[in-house]
Amino acid sequence: MTEAILVINAGSSSIKFQLFAVAPDDRLVRRFKGQIEGIGTRPRLVAVTSNREILVDETWPSVDVADLPAALDKVIAFLRPQIGGELPAAVGHRVVHGGPHYASPVAVTSRVLAELEKFVALAPLHQPNNLAPIRAVLQRRPHLLQVACFDTAFHRGHPEVADCYAIPQSLYAEGVRRYGFHGLSYEYIAQRLSAVAPDVASGRIVVAHLGSGASMCAISNGQSVESTMGFTAMDGLPMGTRPGQLDPGVVLYLLNEKGMSAEAIETFLYKDCGLKGLSGISNDVRELLASPDPRAQMALDYFTYRIALFTGMLAAAMGGIDGFVFTAGIGENAPLIREAVIRRLSWLGLDVSTQANKKNAPCISRKGARVPCFVIPTDEEFMIATHTLRVLRERTASALEEKRA
């Protein structure tokens, strides 16, 4: 089999995976991609080739795929015949939180895994699930190279003034600081812009990664300058079930006046707030857009209002704005949300072309708009594969140097 890179992106209720063949010139060629979703509720495994031919579309009773390990077993059972029973050259993983020490992709060892487990409390919805496949592969195939790629890494070049909170320095020194997330997505967009919009790629860009988890990033000359997310993946924009920016006094109120425990507050903030809490209907933007209930419209208005507010903040961090990018599930597929955001930002020079927006065109700006707006599909898995291949090549080169020595 041609040398291959397997990418695993494990979330709270799904596992996404892709297999890339490595061409002789080290170009990555996507062979297939898929995901198993609805873990514990309505598990379904779907995978398609690069030509969109369906390789598998299978469902099971919830008890058969009740948790992430069971889902991983299903994925492995599917992958084994697809790769001819051979192991990939390496496996790349998305890991949400790299903490203060991991600023670039790293080969995983037992020691590294133990370090990453310390950040579970900072990303309880994601980190345990990100690490579960790493742990499973480490136990079964300890000599197979695994590479952890961090959502925090792209933001690690921020100046201290952007990363610190107004709290004692001792807390910053132990890691209580603003990290930013969705870095793999932003890194891909920063690279992709040079092909999609070369005239603005090196300028000051605001990128809105809008999905069930949502954030925004200021990118200047391809580098992250500022982000809406902070110490955890809860800050900034309202999300499907997370509140986004919240006065810490609200948490104190829940503790002191409502008598809620820390555990109950954590569950509340991660699972019962955001668009779900505002609407009382759903955390799914598609359902809210289809609903006649005024609470659904209120939730969407709040969402687009906060996106506009944070755009102003991010533009201030860069001293201006030269372009705006929508990406991720909502950003790529919800024209009504995009239009509402752009209309709120007309004062900044954004202007939407209704026709281009409805078609999900790469550029959705009206001709002559001072600040062009783009829709660019993200590809976190491709970035993970790219980083994994680089680590693989570095290890190979290092091993050759040791032999020569």
**Are 166 and 302 contained in the same domain?**
no
Model confidence at 286, in pLDDT bands (50, 70, 90)? very high
**Are 357 and 316 contained in the same domain?**
yes
- 109: pLDDT strictly greater than 70: yes
Reported as a single tens digit per residue, the pLDDT across 8-56 is 998 767 888 999 999 999 999 999 999 898 887 888 999 999 888 999 9
How many other CB atoms sit within 10 Å of the CB of residue 108? Answer: 24
What mean pLDDT do residues 204-212 have? 96
**Are 139 and 211 contained in the same domain?**
no
Average pLDDT of the chain is 92
- From residue 71, alpha-carbon distances to 66, 76, 88, 94, 170 in Å are 8, 9, 20, 17, 42
Highest mean pLDDT among 30-39, 67-76, 119-128, 311-320: 311-320
Q: Enumerate the active-site residues.
A: 151
Percent of the chain topping pLDDT 90:
75
- 69: pLDDT strictly greater than 60: yes
What mean pLDDT do residues 309-330 have? 97
**Are 329 and 228 contained in the same domain?**
yes
375 contacts 364 by C-beta, under 8 angstroms: yes
**Are 395 and 336 contained in the same domain?**
no
Lowest mean pLDDT, pick from 86-90, 101-105, 378-382: 86-90
How many folded domains does the chain comprise? Answer: 2
Amino acid at 117: E
Q: How far apart, in whole angstroms, are the C-alpha atoms of residue 154 and residue 208?
A: 15
Domain that holds residue 358: 198-375
- Can you give the pTM of this predicted structure? 0.91
Q: Is 138 a member of any domain?
A: yes
**Are 93 and 203 contained in the same domain?**
no
What b/e sequence results for 326-337 when a residue is b if at least 16 CB atoms lie within 10 Å of its CB, and e otherwise?
A: bbbbbbbbbbeb
Phi-psi region of 56 (alpha: psi -120 to 50; beta: other; left: phi over 0): beta
**Are 363 and 398 contained in the same domain?**
no
- Beta bridge partners of residue 36, listed in sequence order: 15, 45
Domain of 360, CATH number, reads: 3.30.420.40
Reported as a single tens digit per residue, the pLDDT across 70-97 is 888 888 888 888 877 678 899 999 999 9
**Are 9 and 135 contained in the same domain?**
yes
Reported as a single tens digit per residue, the pLDDT across 258-267 is 999 999 999 9
**Are 165 and 202 contained in the same domain?**
no
**Are 226 and 265 contained in the same domain?**
yes
Q: How far apart, in whole angstroms, are the C-alpha atoms of residue 46 and residue 35?
A: 6
Q: What pLDDT score was predicted for residue 1?
A: 55
What mean pLDDT do residues 116-138 have? 88
Q: How many residues does the chain have?
A: 405
Q: How far apart, in whole angstroms, are the C-alpha atoms of residue 354 and residue 374?
A: 13
